[in-house]
Amino acid sequence: MQLCGVGDEPGQRFGFAEAAALAPYLASLGVSHVYLSPVLRAAPGSTHGYDVIDHERLAEELGGEDAFRAMVARFRSHGLKLLVDIVPNHMAVPMPVDLNRPLASVLAGGASSPYARWFDIDWEAGDGRVVLPWEGEVNYRRFFDISGLIGLRQEDPEVFEGTHELTLRLVDEGLVDGLRVDHPDGLADPRGYLDRLGSRAASAWVLVEKITTGEEELPGDWRCAGTTGYDALGMVGGLFIDPDGEKPLTDTYVSFTGGPPGFAEVENASRRYVAEHGLRPEMARLHKVLCRTLPSESPEALERVLFELLIAVPVYRAYAVPGEEAPAQAVEVIGQAAHRARAHLPEELHELLEAVVRLVLGLDTPDSSESPDYGEFVVRFQQTSAPLAAKGVEDTAFYRWSRMAALNEVGGDPERFSVGAADFHSFCGRIARDWPVTMTTLSTHDTKRQEDVRARLAVLAELPAEWAAAVRHWHTWFPEGVPLEPDLEYLLWQTLAGAWPVTEDRLAGFLTKAMREAKTRTSWVDGDPEYEEAVLAYAHRIMADADLGKSITDFVGRIAPYARANSLGQKLVQLTMPGVPDVYQGCELIGLSLVDPDNRRPVDYGRRRARLTRLDSGRAPSDTHDEKLMVTARALRLRRDHPEWFGGGTYDPVAVAGPAADHAVAFRRGEAVTVVTRLPAGLERRGGWGGTVVEVTAEAWRDVLTGVVHQGPRLLLSEVLDLLPVALLIPDRVPASE
């Protein structure tokens, strides 16, 4: 269960004591680990903890060390372990700067400070001093393009020791059981960092916030248990999207917005924008290193080649290490980038492009006496490609191309419209084999819309004509016209359909972030107040119009039965597939929050406790919230009671046969069989399950969700999925969970 930290709302506190108080409820829910956002001292007013200013102290705002120890004791008394988020890549540049003692020392002493080696600073660009954000263009590596977060040099053993001493002590004392490593792609050597961390925290369950893209896989030589689960998020979500909806939804999007039918053009333009604007200091620094590495080449030619190669890297980074042979995946990644870049370069620069590619991959190592900067170039190339991917794609392009907003998610590929059952089974088989205790997720503090918003939007692929009619109707609601850019308007209607009912404040916050992230008419840096005011005024008119509100309510009601099936289906799949499921705070009920800070609002755990108590008393679910809570609790409890079924690397697809076989997915973990409905609107159109069956063994099977017993070996889905659109079956001889 993932819990965010203090300050999620003004006047709200959620610290160690508040987390400790949840122990009985979390244990009852079936949770194994409590997953905390960063717990070290952060910048004043931090709402998340990722802006660390002191690695030697636990955050006083959360309660300090005494409260932390008391919290852990409380968790232990209820059988709960602890997973803590750590931030090795950067520290905050707070106000006042003196709050960050190492950074204050560097500001005072420059390169002679004992902490100078801690930070990734371009001393030459600052004439021997650190240039702070309010003084001009910064001269240090940042977290993405955020000048208030300065990069750390974890490749230096002294820096590692200085920034991990407290964390490692907590692990050694048995207070912390697992570590979630934030943004390892920002580090000079992620593999080397994980090796050092693993050798010092050998008992810890280590996970990395690594975003994989497309067919990319987590490097097999990383010393960790897996990722934080964004790869699973995309695969699970895609399973519930109808591939037949791709063309009609694309046609509607193109007709409505005038935008391109594909994502590639938008992604390329967005990457270019970010490289030329937000990441200009990083690009300039890398170019300078390359010019020193290849001093005989034209700086202008190198700049152009470097620019085109970087924006064409299809993933976050390639994981080439200076002095080592590049792994096959790195060669493939940079080869793809070179192929794309070549199309944007004149023929006379193709040979130079090849030379730079060989440098990136270590195929041509310049003589060290002539080019001492070679190693730095290889590392810094990758430290630049990672933020370029994050900011160019997820934080720009995803807000410029809204064909299907459910697909525009962290680690997602908007052009991979859906996932077939065979591909899903193949993915789960690889996870079970290679990363059996990786994390899986559907919602986090970084997702752009919570899981049940995406589950609703998935229905649009099954009802594309009804969606097209609805969005055109809403578009013409006000005769004065619409002041929004077409793509933003299309995203607005999807957001309303997905998150309804939503308050005006929440909608305004989302729209403000969406239009600024798109960076087409306004941005965080170069704002257009007049446009922003017009957008928010339009949103106000929508929210104030009762008849329009009723029209949206009616549409949401129309898709609600199918959204219910999607919500429960994707949740049960995530909870029982290979890996360890992350249940984000509050998402044991229907989660309809939008991008942060909306998804960090306080959670009403009293309401959840009361619902769970009522369900455990034997009462039937009263609504979809109850149904999701029941699915979550009973699946987690089954995992807890039978770790031998779920903790290892077992995964077997279960055959579904009959006229509606494409509308169900089933798999087996140990002695448990998961069965879920997919594409429910299409199932309804074809008249239901008919004689479709799931093939199990010849014994009695009990659904742990409903208690109903079915006799194998061929179970009629019309009976198994009569009360709920999902089932979790176990042999009836297995005792019930407590």
Domain ranges for the chain, please list them. Answer: 266-397
pLDDT for residue 710 is more than 70: yes
- 56-81: per-residue pLDDT in tens? 999 999 999 999 999 999 999 999 99
φ/ψ of 448, rounded to 5, equals -85, -15
0.85 cut: is pTM over it? yes
Predicted pLDDT of residue 371: 65
Q: What percent of the chain has pLDDT above 70?
A: 98
Predicted pLDDT of residue 8: 41
Rounded to 5°, angle at Cα 622 from 616 and 623:
120
Rounded to 5°, angle at Cα 47 from 400 and 526:
40
- 502-547: per-residue pLDDT in tens? 999 999 999 999 999 999 999 999 999 999 999 999 999 999 999 9
Contacts of residue 148, defined as CB under 8 A and 6 or more positions apart, other chains included, come to: 43, 51, 92, 93, 94, 133
Predicted pLDDT of residue 11: 44
Query: Do the beta carbons of residue 40 and residue 170 sit within 8 Å?
Result: no
pLDDT range class, residue 736, cuts 50, 70, 90:
confident
Residue of 31, 85, 329 whose CA lies nearest to 209: 85
pLDDT for residue 433 is more than 50: yes
For 394, which DSSP code? I
| CA-based torsion, 318, 320, 321, 327: positive or negative | positive
Predicted pLDDT of residue 185: 97
Report the chain's mean pLDDT, rounded to a whole number.
Answer: 95
Q: Provide the edge-to-edge strand list for the sheet that holds 90-92.
A: 90-92, 146-151, 142-143
φ/ψ of 215, rounded to 5, equals -90, 5
| CA-based torsion, 93, 97, 99, 104: positive or negative | positive
Higher pLDDT, 129 or 372: 129
Predicted pLDDT of residue 219: 95
Which alpha helices (DSSP H) does 47-176 contain, by range?
64-77, 101-109, 157-172
Predicted pLDDT of residue 10: 40
- 613-663: per-residue pLDDT in tens? 999 999 999 999 999 999 999 999 999 999 999 987 789 999 999 999 999
Predicted pLDDT of residue 242: 98
Name the residue with tokens 């229907």: 590
Exposure letters 571-608 (e unless 16+ CB within 10 A, then b): bbbbbbbbbbbbbbbbbbbbbbbbbbbbbbbebebeeb
Give CA–CA dist 569/580, Å, rounded.
Answer: 17
For 730, which DSSP code? E
Give CA–CA dist 434/413, Å, rounded.
Answer: 23
Contacts of residue 564, defined as CB under 8 A and 6 or more positions apart, other chains included, come to: 624, 627, 725
- 3-37: per-residue pLDDT in tens? 765 444 444 579 999 999 999 999 999 999 999 99
Q: What is the mean pLDDT of residues 584-604?
A: 96
- 282-323: per-residue pLDDT in tens? 999 999 999 999 999 999 999 999 999 999 999 999 999 998
Contacts of residue 722, defined as CB under 8 A and 6 or more positions apart, other chains included, come to: none
Give CA–CA dist 145/450, Å, rounded.
Answer: 25
Predicted pLDDT of residue 1: 75
Query: Do the beta carbons of residue 391 and residue 144 sit within 8 Å?
Result: yes
pLDDT range class, residue 92, cuts 50, 70, 90:
very high
Predicted pLDDT of residue 364: 75
Q: What is the mean pLDDT of residues 247-259?
A: 98
Contacts of residue 634, defined as CB under 8 A and 6 or more positions apart, other chains included, come to: 30, 704, 705, 728, 737
pLDDT for residue 368 is more than 60: no
